[in-house]
Amino acid sequence: MRWLVYFVDLGIGLYRWMILARVIMTWIPNIDYYHPVVKFIYGGTEPVLAPFRRMLPPLGGFDLSPILVYVVLEFIRGAILRALYIL
């Protein structure tokens, strides 16, 4: 059961790093959106970020959806890990 806890924690952690990479890429001018790594990061994070972006409109030009996704992911991570530790 320990391996399941490890992989759940690792998966959510990697996804959070992908969101952070996406946020940092928005600050880089002239980024090639057709580069395979950029397409992978955008393709992997957009399905999660888009619903949060619709719920939370931009505030002064800033997209706050990654922050909300981080909070929700941390809540989900904690709930799953607690449930797995109980088993």
Could you count the other beta carbons within 10 Å of the beta carbon of residue 65?
22
Between CA 73 and CA 65 the distance in angstroms is 12
Bin 57: left if φ > 0, else alpha if -120 < ψ < 50, else beta: beta
pLDDT, average across residues 39-48: 96
pLDDT band (50, 70, 90) for residue 43: very high
pLDDT at 67: 93
pLDDT at 3: 87
Amino acid identity, position 37? V
Global confidence as pTM? 0.87
pLDDT at 1: 74
